[in-house]
Structure 1
């Protein structure tokens, strides 16, 4: 009995040491990457939450076992993430909530992805990036551009009527829902609002051109079907 207790204590001590090393390593990476200090508190809070869970429930001697996922993973196009970052920024306090939502979405947990962005909105209620992200998260969770998602996108647009992100990502939400014709004017508006010097303008123009080609081909196919 004493030997087992000593083994448990030694294993638990090693767990705390590894947690401390992980925290130091994370801090070093944030510093070397030039990340804003406002983001450090977000990472620190996550580490403290993990430490609290380990202290309450951790048992290093429990045998491991495979855990089945309870949701289908969702692939996020890295190019779209880069486009969003170039339009809205990445290494910011608000961006940290979008990054967290991305991770949850990739795991198929769209409900908690919405909650993650809502947490950011509660802290930064005038953040265009977070309201736009909330519209995207809600539309992914609902599978359509629901009234709640539309409200979030419109609120984001109201915060800055000259920013291309809200109409672009609202258009993208309609594309994902299969409503291509409705998406078209939003992408056209996003292109109109994109400054000529911004690199994302060229990408939006290319996507709009592909959408126009698709809509033209679909209209031609409908005409041919009607003629027959």
Structure 2
């Protein structure tokens, strides 16, 4: 709880500083959306009681939240998926992104009709390439086709688009997810945060050009 209060205080101080500096419009909206998105990720995965330790490497593709936290929000914890996902994430954390993708590819040989596993494979391929590649997009689309009623594959595809700088393409997917998200769903704050961030990214160039 203390960590959440400190995070809220920090967010308020940042917004106040920007307001005093007369930052307005899309820039202020983009900052607010980023803080919202980060706060949602922290609420799902943060543990301020853990001792600090240096991080060996960072994900090649920037992400505004923990992909592990998002995976757990959409697909749950302590499921059969963990045996593949946790091992893959451990390789990715060390910068071995090709091995991380290979683990999930092995999982797909055993579970070729798992929409969840295909979406995680898409994440791994995008992380390895540093952008959303045709192969990663194909993996996401396969996941969506296999699990058309599950929000996970569509969210991770939208997030990969957003992380790759394609906010305009991500926005329709996020709009649809936000519209159909149950009020109490664990993943709803992630969708709303990603949607706000995508909308602010789309609006900012338009405001700058006066269109």
Same fold (TM over 0.5): yes
1:215 to 181, 186, 202: 202
Query: Higher relative contact order by CA 8 Å / sep ≥ 6: 1 or 2?
Result: 2
Residues 134-153 of structure 1 correspond to what in structure 2 (within 5 A)?
134-153=121-140
Q: 1:77 to 1:183 in 2, by over 3 A?
A: closer
1:7 corresponds to which residue? none
2:80 corresponds to which residue? 93
Deviation, 1:77, is 6.4
Distance in 2 of aligned mates of 1:203 and 1:172 = 10
Residues 104-183 of structure 1 correspond to what in structure 2 (within 5 A)?
104-183=91-170
1:190 corresponds to which residue? 177
Deviation, 1:207, is 2.4
Does the 8 A contact of 1:162 with 1:193 survive in 2?
Answer: no
2:70 to 79, 83, 90: 83
- Please list the CA deviations of residues 148-194 of structure 1 after superposition, one character each: whole Å capped at 9, or x if unmatched: 11111111111121111111111111122122211111222322343
1:56 corresponds to which residue? none
TM-score (norm 1): 0.61
Distance in 2 of aligned mates of 1:205 and 1:78 = 13
Distance in 2 of aligned mates of 1:146 and 1:181 = 17
Q: 1:83 to 1:93 in 2, by over 3 A?
A: same
Work out which of the two has the higher radius of gyration on C-alpha atoms and give 1 or 2: 1
TM-score (norm 2): 0.66
Does the 8 A contact of 1:164 with 1:193 survive in 2?
Answer: no
Corresponding residue pairs, total: 153
Does the 8 A contact of 1:145 with 1:173 survive in 2?
Answer: yes
Does the 8 A contact of 1:138 with 1:146 survive in 2?
Answer: yes
Listed as ranges, the gaps of 5+ residues in structure 2 are: 1-55
SS of the equivalent of 2:185 reads: coil
Please provide the CA RMSD for this pair.
2.0
Does the 8 A contact of 2:162 with 2:198 survive in 1?
Answer: no
Q: 1:216 to 1:78 in 2, by over 3 A?
A: closer
Q: 1:141 to 1:80 in 2, by over 3 A?
A: closer
Distance in 1 of aligned mates of 2:187 and 2:150 = 12
SS of the equivalent of 2:200 reads: helix
Deviation, 1:78, is 6.0
Deviation, 1:121, is 0.9
Q: Mean alpha-carbon deviation: is it higher for 212-221 or for 154-163? A: 212-221
